[in-house]
Amino acid sequence: MHMMVWLEDAPKLDIDPERSIEWIDGLISCDIEVEGVIHQQHKHTKSCQRKTKDGIVCRFNIPYPPMQETCILTPFAKDYPRSKKKRGKEVLSTIKEYLEVHKKDLPDWSFEAFLHHFKLHEKEYIEAIRSTIKRPTVVLRRNLKSCFTNAYIPSLAKVWRSNMDVQPIIDPFGVARYIASYMTKASGGISKLMKETSDQIKGGNLSVKSITQTTCWYNLKGSYKPYFVFSLRTR
């Protein structure tokens, strides 16, 4: 379930970032050990992993980067040196690789010990994260052990008792674009369905017409499905 929530009297991140950060810390948690909170640990599956030129990565960018304090980071300007941006991405990639390898027994380091292990100053680490983002981003306070923990609202998580991933909204246009694309995207399972359709046709179990109708329905964009159901004209 995807949901947008408007909270009364919530501060605006672009107007009062300091108060906004305090508000976020009071509402959202990444703590791994909270009584009554379950199913918040991310586990990689085929649905989250995708192939890139750099190998297989999680499309949710998990593990999350450790951070001493919640902060709002912005991407670098277009004229930022490519060499520095490339270096930053390499640094963060090395850190994430370490977190992946040791995710079952991550050390209980302080933030300073974490930076020391990777021979980084805090400024270098922040620049590494900024090198990988494309829009203003809230980076939540979290330690190493919670790098695979989805952000949640404790009071809701205890009642919901299922996974949630809470994200403060900075870019309203980005959210509108995400919702529109999510509503109208084709199902990712269409390739599997097409193969099953082909197998059924070869086996003679169903008519070509009924299979084609099922497949077309499955792959219809979300906004067109009501027209299909009620036999409405689209022109």
Structural domain contains residue 234: no
Structural domain contains residue 52: yes
Q: Which parts of the chain have pLDDT scores under 50?
A: none
- Given this model, what pLDDT does residue 195 score? 67
**Domain of residue 205, residue span:** 190-229
Structural domain contains residue 87: yes
**Considering its fold, how many domains does the chain have in total?**
2
Beta-carbon count within 10 A of 5 CB: 9
Give the CA diameter of the chain.
66
Contact 168, 138 (CB under 8 A): yes
Half-sphere exposure (CA, 13 Å, Cβ side) for 197? 19
Structural domain contains residue 6: no
Task: Examine the fold and report which residue of 182, 204, 219 is the final residue of a domain before the chain moves on.
Answer: 182
Contact 122, 13 (CB under 8 A): no
H or E element that contains 51 = strand 49-52
Q: What is the pLDDT of residues 144-202, one digit of tens each?
A: 999 999 999 998 888 888 888 888 887 778 778 877 777 766 655 555 666 676 677 77
- Given this model, what pLDDT does residue 156 score? 87
pTM of the model: 0.74
**Do 138 and 211 lie in a common domain?**
no
Contact 190, 218 (CB under 8 A): yes
* Backbone φ and ψ of 14, nearest 5°: -80, -15
Contact 101, 74 (CB under 8 A): no
**Do 150 and 63 lie in a common domain?**
yes
Structural domain contains residue 76: yes
Structural domain contains residue 169: yes
- Given this model, what pLDDT does residue 36 score? 80
- Given this model, what pLDDT does residue 230 score? 57
**Do 175 and 102 lie in a common domain?**
yes
- Given this model, what pLDDT does residue 55 score? 78
**Do 143 and 213 lie in a common domain?**
no
Structural domain contains residue 214: yes
- Given this model, what pLDDT does residue 208 score? 52
